[in-house]
Chain A
Amino acid sequence: MAAFIIKRLLHSVIVMLAVGFVAFLMFNYVGDPINNMVGQETTVVQREQLREQLGLNDPFYLQFLRFAGNAAQGDFGLSYQHRRPVEDIIMERLPATLELSIMSALFALGVGVPMGVYTALNRNSVLSKVFMFVSLVGVSLPTFLIGILLIFLFAVQLQWLPSFGRPGVVDLGWWHTSLLTWDGWKAIIMPAITLGLFQMTLIMRLVRAEMLGVLRTDYIKFARARGLKNRAVHFGHALKNTMVPVITVTGLQLGTIIAFAIITETVFQWPGIGLLFIGAVRDADIPVMSAYLVMIAFFFVVINLIVDLLYFAVDPRLRVERPGASGGH
């Protein structure tokens, strides 16, 4: 187990280094950083001074080390577009994206798991067929189209929900939340569904497949033979054993959700880091792009690591090194 974790940690470090290197290359060599910082009237001498001051004449490895050191402290320089420190802008917008991502993950789990269980237990019912069809649509529709269709239906035609923005934001000092007001809740419903629909169908199909597999195993037959109620068999024994892959997939999908928030945030003009990133891509705002890249990579790596560790916590079979007879079970 220790060897496995060390290997995973090493892999994470390599991924982070590679991503950091790419971000560094972007930062330093795409366009001239000096040109992006100063105005037309700056003289050649002043430019050269600034270059020296910023250490752009230093050897390559020194520059990379400095970049990595600054990045580790959350310092990514000034945004070309906003003329402010990148980390400030990101911290300002992070709550919006995190709230949206967490809400859509909860939606995906809260709707996907029951739907999966239902379709596994009632394979031939009409409702199951409907659920399976919905999941097929959810998989094949591009995210932005789902968003547009939802806006068309619920904002334009029915006028139930607002079509864009994040109203009702409350400042808690260290966090800006929109989940404390009715307006905020109304505004987050459609973006959260749009963002979570793909994950919902994924989880539903996964739970269904796992449940069908587990229901055929011997210990379920034995549980039935013991005369346990259907309810206890289904939820106490079967569902519990489908949870390992569900945890893994949900965890891994959390990173994907944060990345796909770019699209959802564009559709709904949700003021998160995704919208910031798209603006940066459009305007070639390299510092914002490289900061976003490093941050997302960090999220992915940490989530992957946590999922791997959760594996050991949830599934005792993986802890094979432990001597056979353990007291607890």
Chain B
Amino acid sequence: MTDSPIDRPSAGAFAPRSPLARAGFWMREQWRAAAESDLWYSFRRSPVTIVAALITLIFVLGSIFAPLIAPYNVFDPGANNLMDGLTPPLGDSFSGSSYLMGTDLQGRDILSTIIYGSRISLIVGVCAVIFAAILGVSLGLAAGYLGGWVDSLIMRTADVFLSFPTILIALLVDGVARAVLTGHRAGDLAVYVMIFSIGVSTWVQYARTVRGQTLVEKNKEYVQAARLVGRHPVLIMLRHVLPNVMGPVLVIATLGLALAIITEATLSFLGVGVPPTQPSLGTLIRIGQEELFSGSWWITIFPGIALILLALSVNLLGDWLRDALNPKLR
């Protein structure tokens, strides 16, 4: 049997008629394309990436199904046994319940607080990345496509942001937001304040990258054609330029997720992040630090390990994605 394109039936000829069957066919085709792609190949070839992906997957699933997985409901004050406070990992507790990673001062199961804490950390991280990406990509598109004073204004602002470390900007935005919101249920809004401050402090990278890519794409023929046809500039930016600049954005977003998770943990550790009623990993570490001196190391160390595992895995995934999408680096 030869492999010439003439002998081989094209996908179109075999495409089934009914919508359901067609959807199944489409999915099989997508699956085949994915399995044969460079991305999947480089993924399979890198054991470190596979481990990182698995760990990330465990964290994501654990966060989604936290109420089902967590051994104890740590947010129900009635469910915590105060007498079990400061039980060491797998140690004998007063009530006879067993705690894989021990308990804190209030008798809360550390494993459960870590599962719920990762949930908060991941939610804040993902939302902050989405916020930063939307902000950065739209500003970058506008700067690159419109040029002129819009470009100057956005990019000079970006320069000022870039002069300072992320954590400092996040702290400032957080501080101002707190000052504005004093008395306005600041505790309830803490999560949104965090998402906003981390997003505002990390948009610059997206904007700079997208602007650079947009400057290149802007002069290509398809964009000029769209302009000649008289499409609205906003539509050209969104429908034509945007899809072609999304590759680098994906890489920045993945690496940005690790940065956002660490920034959130740092802010919460400094006591200006999410409140202890909704503890993230950083809050747990801060609470546990006070008990460190009395020898109860597990309250701090286990959330710390969880944070390191999560941040490192996401970082490694981002590194892999960057190398895989950029053949020049290989």
- B is bound to A: yes
List of A residues within 8 angstroms of B311 by Cβ: 140, 142
- What 1/0 mask marks residues of chain B from 154 to 177 whose CB sits below 8 Å from any chain A CB? 001101100111011001101110
Structural contact, A144 and B165, CB atoms closer than 8 A: no
User: Which residues in window 294-317 of A have CB below 8 A to B?
Assistant: 296-297, 300-301, 304
A293 within 8 A of B: yes
Assembly CA distance A31 to B167 (angstroms): 24
Q: Tell me the smallest distance from the CB of A164 to a CB of chain B, in Å.
A: 10
Structural contact, B174 and A142, CB atoms closer than 8 A: no
Structural contact, B271 and A145, CB atoms closer than 8 A: no
List of B residues within 8 angstroms of A289 by Cβ: 172, 175-176
Structural contact, A297 and B300, CB atoms closer than 8 A: no
- What 1/0 mask marks residues of chain B from 230 to 243 whose CB sits below 8 Å from any chain A CB? 00000000000000
A282 within 8 A of B: yes
Interface size class of B (residues with CB under 8 A): 35 or more
List of B residues within 8 angstroms of A203 by Cβ: none
B297 within 8 A of A: yes
- Looking at A114-122, A210-218, A260-268, the stretch in contact with chain B turns out to be A260-268
Structural contact, A260 and B293, CB atoms closer than 8 A: no
A256 within 8 A of B: yes
- What 1/0 mask marks residues of chain A from 274 to 304 whose CB sits below 8 Å from any chain B CB? 0001101110101001000100110011001
B53 within 8 A of A: no
Q: Tell me the smallest distance from the CB of A153 to a CB of chain B, in Å.
A: 10
Structural contact, B178 and A256, CB atoms closer than 8 A: no
**Which residue of the partner chain, among B179, B285, B289, B312, contacts A31 with CB atoms under 8 Å?**
B179
A72 within 8 A of B: no
Assembly CA distance A290 to B304 (angstroms): 32
B130 within 8 A of A: no
Q: Which applies to chain A's interface (DSSP): helix, strand, loop or mixed?
A: helix
Assembly CA distance A15 to B160 (angstroms): 6
Given A280-B175, A281-B174, A282-B272, CB of A142 within 8 Å of CB of B165: no
Q: Which applies to chain B's interface (DSSP): helix, strand, loop or mixed?
A: helix
Q: Tell me the smallest distance from the CB of B278 to a CB of chain A, in Å.
A: 17
Q: Tell me the smallest distance from the CB of B121 to a CB of chain A, in Å.
A: 12
A18 within 8 A of B: yes
Structural contact, B159 and A145, CB atoms closer than 8 A: no
Structural contact, A263 and B270, CB atoms closer than 8 A: yes
List of A residues within 8 angstroms of B176 by Cβ: 26, 30, 289
Structural contact, A30 and B160, CB atoms closer than 8 A: no
Assembly CA distance A300 to B164 (angstroms): 8
Structural contact, A30 and B271, CB atoms closer than 8 A: no
Structural contact, A140 and B293, CB atoms closer than 8 A: no
A152 within 8 A of B: yes
B266 within 8 A of A: yes
List of B residues within 8 angstroms of A156 by Cβ: 292-293, 295, 297
B2 within 8 A of A: no
User: Which residues in window 247-278 of B have CB below 8 A to A?
Assistant: 262, 265-266, 269-272
B301 within 8 A of A: yes
- What 1/0 mask marks residues of chain B from 168 to 193 whose CB sits below 8 Å from any chain A CB? 10011011101110100000000000
Assembly CA distance A304 to B160 (angstroms): 13
Given A152-B301, A278-B271, CB of A260 within 8 Å of CB of B165: yes
List of A residues within 8 angstroms of B172 by Cβ: 281, 289, 293
Structural contact, A145 and B304, CB atoms closer than 8 A: yes
Structural contact, B179 and A142, CB atoms closer than 8 A: no
List of B residues within 8 angstroms of A151 by Cβ: 292
**Which residue of the partner chain, among A149, A282, A300, contacts B163 with CB atoms under 8 Å?**
A300
Structural contact, A262 and B270, CB atoms closer than 8 A: yes
List of B residues within 8 angstroms of A18 by Cβ: 157, 160
Assembly CA distance A301 to B163 (angstroms): 8
List of B residues within 8 angstroms of A209 by Cβ: none
A127 within 8 A of B: no
A169 within 8 A of B: no
Structural contact, A145 and B163, CB atoms closer than 8 A: no
Assembly CA distance A148 to B179 (angstroms): 29
List of B residues within 8 angstroms of A31 by Cβ: 179-180, 182
* 12 interchain pairs, CB-CB under 8 A: A30-B179, A143-B266, A144-B266, A145-B285, A152-B300, A155-B293, A280-B175, A281-B178, A284-B175, A293-B172, A297-B164, A300-B163
For the A-B complex with A145-B307, A148-B300, A278-B171 known, give 19 more contacts whose Cβ atoms are closer than 8 Å.
Answer: A15-B159, A18-B157, A19-B160, A31-B179, A140-B308, A144-B269, A144-B270, A149-B304, A156-B297, A163-B293, A262-B167, A277-B171, A278-B272, A281-B172, A282-B272, A289-B175, A300-B163, A300-B164, A304-B163
Residues of chain A at the chain B interface (Cβ within 8 Å): 11, 14-15, 18-19, 26, 30-31, 140-145, 148-149, 151-152, 155-156, 163, 256, 259-260, 262-263, 266-267, 277-278, 280-282, 284, 286, 289, 293, 296-297, 300-301, 304
9 tightest Cβ-Cβ pairs between the two chains A and B: A281-B175, A284-B179, A259-B168, A30-B179, A18-B160, A259-B165, A144-B269, A140-B312, A142-B262
